[in-house]
Structure 1
Amino acid sequence: MMNNIFERIKRLDDDGREYWSSRQLAAALEYADYRNFENVMESAIEACKNSGQPVPDHFVEVTEMIELAKGAHREVKTVYLSRYACYLIIQSADPRKDVVALGHSYFALQTRRQELEDDRRLQLCQEIKEHNKSLASAAKQAGVVQPIDYAIFQNYGYQGLYGGLKKQDIHRRKGLKKSQDILDHMGSEELAANLFRATQTESKLKRDGVDNKDAANRIHFAVGKKIRQTIAEFGNTMPEDLPTPSDSIKQLETRRKKEQKALRRRNDPASQTKGEEG
């Protein structure tokens, strides 16, 4: 299919995040003169600002070396574009071109998929944090009282679900900094598995009337292991092998707040005027 051209020119950085080169995108969209494409890009940058998104997150200016005739090379200014940036560019490009219509379909679909994944992550992360409170309460009733005991209890659950990996092992595998929480850096599939682990462990602790921490630890491990076995039976990816999202939950929350603030500003001319006067 023709729209595969956008997939073919997609690049990945060292962290596995996708991006596109403005030079290659301009060529794909049949802009013979890059200066005309820069005008389109400026409109997209303005749209990015109006949406409340931080422009540097989506439009990154760099210098690239291009090859000229007879093996010569020259440095040119290029912009590395996120998927969202490409989507905004497509919105501003010449709609009469067939390739622009195809690009709109490609980037709109990809952008919508990412939005849905972000929504799922935000919802699941909130749910698991709430259920972890209930799990902690159930564990306390089972004799897991001290903070060190609860940390051990949690690790039993992770070890069952992650094939022997403890929380710190998962943290290290994801390449996170010491202050970063592993839950904030899980995709929706991984979060869902951990939510199921938490809810089922809580239910079993209460149902069985567990009254000692050793039994609680064994149950947490067994529940995690059973969920892992189910994942394997379905032929799905093990939790530790699932990709780590490029944006954390905290980054998504910050972005949503900015988007909501920008939307309120656009829908309330009085507040916009007040901001300009200030």
Structure 2
Amino acid sequence: MTAKKGSIHMTDIEKISEALFEDIKHLDEQGTEYWTARELMPILEYTKWQNFAPLIEKAKKACASSDNAVSDHFTEVSKMVILGSGAAREVEDFHLSRYACYLIAMNGDPRKRAVALAQTYFAVKTRQQELVENYDSLSEDQKRLAIRHEMREHNKALAAAARDAGVVSRMDYAIFQNAGYKGLYGGLGAKDIHKRKGLKKSQQILDHMGSTELAANLFRATQTEEKLRRDEVQGKENANATHYGVGKKVRQTIADLGGTMPEHLPTPDKSIRQIARAQEKRLTAKDEQ
């Protein structure tokens, strides 16, 4: 089966990632997408299967610990390869879901630029898939609403992980959140971002972000939560440092890929609340017809 290249609207990061990951995507007879481990391996800059196979096993364990069925995301198969002598040999392979690729990337060597690229690409696309199946056909306003809703839910999970790490008081959490913003926004804290956007005191900065900026912050939040729990971080200072470090890593990845820094992205004319109210009015009018 040949890989089918996607032709969808993408951010700067996704455009660069497409050549690496969309070009090796396959579709089975039911139209379900998958990647093969043998094709993913060289893209992630691994040259030997014996070094790559342990990543798959770690990813399978992470999948199981997240209460996902491993068999739904990792399908063991075999393939024939031609050796240097011309003889054929059967080797182990896997058909991987997008989520499986994400888990493999998260367990890869972070020093490899391709691994960082894969982490960003598969995380963003997996989150999009979780939000809504037809994400790429949504308007900008619809994407903002969807990601903002997801951001609210993951901020709850992030707060719980921070609390388990020792971030207890409201002031502690404000400092913790500020650390994440400073990492992602090159030293700018929440008040600085608020000021740059020209917002009133009562307005929330997340309600005045476009979909690309919201996606970067969602990635920051989800990866910080996972790292706090995975590394069993303890102590509010360590939690703050973790949040700052993840934010900085996301920023560095954007820089490496030639993307626009979040503080330089335009502030939308309409807030999330305005979009939500307009949507409610449309739905109400439609119901009354």
TM-score (norm 2): 0.52
1:15-164 alignment, distance < 5 Å = 116-164=139-187
- Aligned position for 2:247: 224
Distance in 1 (CA, whole Å) between partners of 2:182 and 2:285 is 43
Matching residue's letter, 1:154: Q
Q: CA deviation at 1:114?
A: 11
Distance in 2 (CA, whole Å) between partners of 1:214 and 1:263 is 52
- Does residue 1:188 correspond to 2:179, yes or no? no
Q: How big is each residue's C-alpha offset from its partner over 1:106-153, in whole Å with a ceiling of 9 and x where there is no partner?
A: xxxxxxx99610010000000001100000000000000010000000
- Aligned position for 2:266: 243
Matching residue's letter, 2:202: S
Q: How big is each residue's C-alpha offset from its partner over 1:137-183, in whole Å with a ceiling of 9 and x where there is no partner?
A: 00000000010000000000000000000000000000000000000
Distance in 1 (CA, whole Å) between partners of 2:270 and 2:234 is 40
Distance in 2 (CA, whole Å) between partners of 1:250 and 1:202 is 26
Q: How big is each residue's C-alpha offset from its partner over 1:51-108, in whole Å with a ceiling of 9 and x where there is no partner?
A: xxxxxxxxxxxxxxxxxxxxxxxxxxxxxxxxxxxxxxxxxxxxxxxxxxxxxxxxxx
Distance in 2 (CA, whole Å) between partners of 1:115 and 1:184 is 18
SS across alignment from 1:129: helix
Matching residue's letter, 2:260: T
Matching residue's letter, 1:215: N
Distance in 1 (CA, whole Å) between partners of 2:184 and 2:165 is 21
- Aligned position for 2:194: 171
- Aligned position for 1:204: 227
Matching residue's letter, 2:280: K
Distance in 2 (CA, whole Å) between partners of 1:239 and 1:164 is 12
- Does residue 1:258 correspond to 2:284, yes or no? no
Distance in 2 (CA, whole Å) between partners of 1:193 and 1:136 is 18
Distance in 2 (CA, whole Å) between partners of 1:175 and 1:226 is 27
Distance in 1 (CA, whole Å) between partners of 2:201 and 2:243 is 25
Q: CA deviation at 1:248?
A: 0.2
Distance in 2 (CA, whole Å) between partners of 1:246 and 1:151 is 27
Q: CA deviation at 1:211?
A: 1.4
Distance in 1 (CA, whole Å) between partners of 2:279 and 2:228 is 37
SS across alignment from 2:188: coil
Matching residue's letter, 1:224: G
CA RMSD of aligned residues (A): 1.3
Bigger Rg, which one: 1
Residues matched between the structures, number? 154
SS across alignment from 1:264: helix
Point out 4+ residue stretches in structure 1 off by more than 6 angstroms: none
Higher relative contact order (CA 8 A, sep 6+): 1
Distance in 1 (CA, whole Å) between partners of 2:243 and 2:198 is 26
Unaligned runs of 5+ in 2: 1-135
Distance in 1 (CA, whole Å) between partners of 2:137 and 2:200 is 25
- Aligned position for 1:83: none
